[in-house]
Every structure is written in structure tokens, then in C-alpha cells.
Amino acid sequence: MTIRNNWTREEIAAIYNKPVLDLMYEAATVHRQYHQAGEVQVCTLLSVKTGGCPEDCAYCPQAARYNTSVKAHKMMEVGEVLQKAVEAKESGSTRFCMGAAWREVRDNRDFDKVIEMVKGVNTLGLEVCCTLGMLTPEQAQKLKDAGLYAYNHNLDTSENFYDDIITTRTYQDRLDTLEHVRNANISVCSGGIIGMGEGEADRIGMLYTLATLPQHPESVPVNALVPVEGTPLEDQPKVSVWEMVRMIATARIIMPHAMVRLSAGRVRMNLEEQALCFMAGANSIFAGDKLLTTPNPGYVKDQEMFQTLQLRPRQAYKEQLV
Ligand code: SF4
């Protein structure tokens, strides 16, 4: 199978809508061609600056305008973050991602701190990743020079549905940041969330945008909304596992090289449901009992899952950027 960047929406829709067993079989076949089946990347995500965000992402408890239980917390100290990174490594994570609830990076002392964090985490032999909002080309280069391996910037949903979820920035802003990250030769992590009230065409639309970028993202997180009280999406119903399976399998087939990350929402899935997602081509998870501010299965539960399913953790830097 060749890597394609010229997918059409119709082709992606045809894959997405295949009978589930055919879809899973095809995705599992592609998965085995490009990845070691049963090998799963374990990442830790730490919120280094929490809450108080000026943006209005309808799913996010960190937006200052929503009344949620999340307490704003200023930027953590570098030493504290490095200690968390050591702990993440000791519990088996190979990628450490630091998130700050910012609209965009500003060239100030907090960014200088992030640069120190990136340098420190890099020396631990972990793949270091950040998610800090919008970036200029110069800021992307500064992060790269500090040793940043990957940058997360999710498209969240389709271009059409975007305004229903976020009004404080545009889809094009997102794409511009992804381009700056790519141009700085940083590995790109970009995906989205399902269960926000979007239609099937929006799910396909988001996959279409990702799969027709000049180069596919190296990581594609697929999140199921975890509704948080106080956010506009607090009453959204849970998405079924089959919707997650369709998203994951379609992403796996159209972007075969990507690490497809089963991200938020895992806390509401049982072991069997997660196993279906791995069969559909997911090969990365977030570890730790919190995903920024929302709950996630704890270390012990994940250890049990790895044992029961006989999964193997993937080593760091397995596929270096060329
Ligand atoms: S998702 Fe990020 S940008 Fe949006 S409100 Fe939350 S912290 Fe801010």
C-alpha cells in the first residue's frame, strides 16, 4: 500500500462506513504491515500551567469563561516538572508531553521556563512533546533547538463544525501552527475529539484534512469526549465503542505510518472495548490517572491491561524523523 495524501472525502467515507468486521480486518492488516502488532506507545501528559485560558473551546474545563471545578494554577517550576518526568519514565512512559492552557505562546518568562523543561526532559531519554497553543515559526524553532521531539496541536473536528466548538480562533490558525511545527522539523501530533455533537461528515472531514496534509501527522490522537460539568458540552451522550473503532480504523488505513492514539475517553471504556480499539489499529495511549484535568485509567489498571492483552510497550525514538 502506498502512502497517499490525495484521499477524497468519498473514499474516506467509503472506508469509514464499511461493515465493522471488514473495516477492522482491513485496519489490522495495514497495522501489521507498518507496525509491530501488540506494541503500544505509552505517553504521559502533564498540565504544567492549568486553567484560566482565554479561549472558548466548548469541551474544555480549562477555559476561564466556564464555571468548572478546575482550579487555575500558574506555571509549575522546572524542577517539579522534571521530577514528574522521572516518575513517568520509571512507570514505563517513553513520551512525556507538557501542556499549558494558553491561546498561543508568548515570548516571556513562562516560555523560557518551558524551554528549560524541554531541555531537561530531553536529557532523560524521553520523547519530549509540548502542547502550548499557537506558535510562530520562530517559537517552533526555539523549541526544536531545545530538543523538542513532537508538538501536539489538535484540529479537534472538521472545518465545517469548528465554529460550533470554538469561536476564538480559526481553523486556518490551527493549520498555520501545524505548518510551522512541520517546517521546524518537529514531529506533528494532531487529531481530534468525537462525541461533541458533530455529524459523520464532520468526523470524515477531520480525517480528510489530516490525511491530505502534505505530510501525515506522525501521531493522531482520537479522543472521545469526556463531558465536564460547567462546559457547554456537559450533557453530551457517550459515544459508542463502534464509533471509536470506526475513527481509529479509518485513521489507521488512510495514514498507515501514524501512531494512532487512543486518548481521552479511555476511562469510560472497559478492557474489551479498549482491546477492540487496539485491534482496529490504535497503538498508543496516555498513562497516568489524569489527562491534563480529566480522569484517565490509573497505572495499575493499565498494567493489568498490558498483561491480559499481552501488549508490549514501544521504545522511545523508535522511528526517528528523517
Ligand atoms: S482546549 Fe486549550 S485552548 Fe481550548 S480552552 Fe482548553 S486550554 Fe484553552
- Is the shortest distance between the CB of 192 and ligand 1 below 6 Å? no
Ligand 1 center from residue 215 Cα (angstroms)? 25
Q: pLDDT value at position 129?
A: 96
How far is 297 from 304, CA to CA, in rounded Å? 11
Nearest CA to ligand 1 atom 4: 57
pLDDT score of 317 more than 80: no
Q: Which CA distances in Å does 290 have to 76, 205, 231, 276?
A: 16, 29, 18, 23
Q: pLDDT value at position 291?
A: 67
- Is the shortest distance between the CB of 58 and ligand 1 below 6 Å? no
**Counting atoms of ligand 1 from 1, which one is nearest the CA of 133?**
3
Residue identified by cell 472545518 is 159
Ligand 1 center from residue 168 Cα (angstroms)? 10
Q: pLDDT value at position 319?
A: 56
**Counting atoms of ligand 1 from 1, which one is nearest the CA of 62?**
6
Q: pLDDT value at position 80?
A: 95
- Is the shortest distance between the CB of 57 and ligand 1 below 6 Å? yes
- Is the shortest distance between the CB of 70 and ligand 1 below 6 Å? no
**pLDDT grade, residue 91 (50/70/90)?**
confident
Q: pLDDT value at position 29?
A: 97
**Counting atoms of ligand 1 from 1, which one is nearest the CA of 54?**
8
Give the burial class of 201: count Cβ atoms within 10 A of its Cβ; 0-12 exposed, 13-18 middle, 19 or more buried: middle
Q: Which residues are catalytic?
A: 53, 57, 60, 97, 129, 189, 261
Give the burial class of 272: count Cβ atoms within 10 A of its Cβ; 0-12 exposed, 13-18 middle, 19 or more buried: exposed
Q: pLDDT value at position 277?
A: 97
pLDDT in tens, 266-287: 888 999 999 999 999 999 998 8
Nearest CA to ligand 1 atom 2: 101
Q: pLDDT value at position 176?
A: 97
Instruction: Out of 85-94, 193-202, 238-247, pick the least confident.
Output: 85-94
- Is the shortest distance between the CB of 228 and ligand 1 below 6 Å? no
Q: Which CA distances in Å does 188 have to 38, 102, 155, 174, 316?
A: 23, 19, 12, 12, 16
**Counting atoms of ligand 1 from 1, which one is nearest the CA of 61?**
6
- Is the shortest distance between the CB of 53 and ligand 1 below 6 Å? yes
**Counting atoms of ligand 1 from 1, which one is nearest the CA of 166?**
4
The phi and psi torsions of 278 (rounded to 5 degrees) equal -65, -40
Give the DSSP H or E segment for 118: helix 109-123
pLDDT average, residue stretch 195-200: 97
Q: pLDDT value at position 321?
A: 36
pLDDT score of 293 more than 90: no
pLDDT score of 132 more than 60: yes
Q: pLDDT value at position 264?
A: 84
pLDDT score of 112 more than 70: yes
For CA atoms 247, 274, 101, 78, give the dihedral sign. negative
Q: pLDDT value at position 318?
A: 58
pLDDT score of 31 more than 50: yes
Ligand 1 center from residue 100 Cα (angstroms)? 9
Average pLDDT, the chain: 93
Give the residue with greater pLDDT, 2 vs 100. Answer: 100
Ligand 1 center from residue 314 Cα (angstroms)? 29
Give the residue with greater pLDDT, 72 vs 258. Answer: 258
Q: pLDDT value at position 320?
A: 42
How far is 164 from 196, CA to CA, in rounded Å? 9
Q: pLDDT value at position 286?
A: 87
Ligand 1 center from residue 227 Cα (angstroms)? 14
**pLDDT grade, residue 104 (50/70/90)?**
very high
Give the DSSP H or E segment for 224: strand 219-224
pLDDT in tens, 137-165: 999 999 999 999 999 999 999 999 999 99
